[in-house]
């Protein structure tokens, strides 16, 4: 069964039934945002779906689902879900922006730009609209993409979340130096986020900064001991270091 089908209302997500009466639309929306900010995109996707069970007219939850599918790399399903949502909210700016990103990452660069234009025309005053436009312009290899990121950060001068998202977008487009810069800015604002340390570590690994990456992965695991990616990365770094030392010793033996 596709992920798209599993988002239909009434799906059983195997959640315990206790205190069900106390868990309402606001509860699940807050839960979804916490999961999003922690990089737990699958959990956020499920929580946004629960919001829509309480209120199918919650445009932010529809948009949230599209954005989570994008974060999970499910671009085709993100487009399908965006189309379904736009039937109800044809002028929702952030929904238009999210569809633009899904199209851009799927290779439909003309369609992506059209939807990005529409989102800005509707209401070009939120950080996500400009991050999404930057994403689309990076996919189109346009130099003016940087202006969009600058605009997003200007609208949120002290928001770590926007910088973390900017870093993730730049990483997708292989701009790891810029991505690391944004991740470091996010850490300056919120050093207690395991998700940001993980993002910084990924950028450092991509740039060959292994010692720094090891420290970042370690920080992430200290903040979130249940992070399998951090544990696996540290194990791999440790194993690579051991093999490198072993190789060095073997070379010494052969040259002695």
pLDDT tens for the chain, residues 1 to 256: 456 555 554 444 445 444 545 889 999 999 999 999 999 999 999 999 999 999 999 999 999 999 999 999 999 999 999 999 999 999 999 999 999 999 999 999 999 999 999 999 987 789 999 999 999 999 999 999 999 999 999 999 999 999 999 999 999 999 999 999 999 999 999 999 999 999 999 999 999 999 999 999 999 999 999 999 999 999 999 887 644 543 445 345 444 4
Domains of the chain: 1-78 (1.25.40), 185-256 (1.25.40)
pLDDT computed for residue 22 by the predictor: 80
CA geometry: angle at 195 spanning 131 and 216, to 5°? 115
Q: Find the distance separating the first CA and the last CA of the chain, reported in whole Å.
A: 62
Within 10 angstroms of residue 157's Cβ, the number of other Cβ atoms is 8
Q: Tokens in use for 146? A: 């940087």
The enclosing H or E element of 155 equals helix 145-155
Can you spell out the DSSP letters for 189-254? H-TT-HHHHHHHHHHHHHTT-HHHHHHHHHHHHHH-TT-HHHHHHHHHHHHHHHHHHHHHHHHHHH
What pTM does this model have?
0.86
The dihedral over CA atoms of 141, 107, 67, 217, expressed in degrees to the nearest 10, equals -60
Helices (H), 17-58: 25-37, 41-54
Residue 8 is predicted with a pLDDT of 54
Show the CA angle centred on residue 130, arms to residues 129 and 134, nearest 5°.
120
pLDDT of residue 134: 98
Residue 122: Cβ within 10 Å count: 17
Residue 208, phi-psi category: left (phi > 0), alpha (psi -120 to 50), beta (remainder): left
pLDDT at 76: 96
Q: What whole-number distance in Å separates Cα of residue 38 and Cα of residue 19?
A: 24
């Amino acid at each position: 069964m596709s992920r798209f089908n599993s988002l239909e209302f009434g799906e059983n997500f195997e959640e315990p039934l206790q205190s069900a009466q106390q868990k309402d639309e606001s509860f699940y929306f807050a839960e979804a945002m916490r999961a999003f900010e922690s990089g737990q995109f699958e959990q956020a996707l499920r929580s946004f779906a629960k919001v829509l069970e309480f209120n199918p007219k919650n445009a932010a939850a529809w948009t949230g689902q599209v954005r989570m599918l994008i974060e999970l790399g499910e671009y085709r399903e993100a487009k399908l879900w965006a189309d379904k949502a736009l039937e109800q909210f044809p002028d929702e700016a952030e929904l238009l922006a999210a569809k633009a990103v899904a199209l851009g990452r799927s290779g439909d660069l003309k369609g992506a730009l059209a939807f990005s234009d529409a989102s800005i025309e509707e209401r070009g005053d939120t950080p996500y609209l400009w991050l999404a436009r930057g994403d689309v312009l990076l996919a189109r290899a346009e130099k003016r993409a940087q202006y969009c990121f600058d605009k997003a950060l200007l609208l949120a001068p002290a928001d770590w979340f926007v910088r973390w998202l900017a870093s993730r977008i730049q990483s997708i487009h292989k701009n790891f130096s810029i991505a690391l810069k944004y991740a470091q800015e996010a850490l300056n604002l919120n050093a207690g986020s395991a998700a940001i340390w993980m993002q910084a570590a990924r950028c450092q690994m991509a740039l060959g900064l292994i010692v720094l990456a090891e420290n970042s992965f370690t920080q992430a695991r200290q903040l979130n001991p249940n992070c399998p990616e951090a544990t696996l990365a540290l194990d791999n770094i440790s194993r690579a270091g051991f093999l490198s030392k072993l190789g060095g010793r073997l070379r010494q033996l052969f040259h002695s």
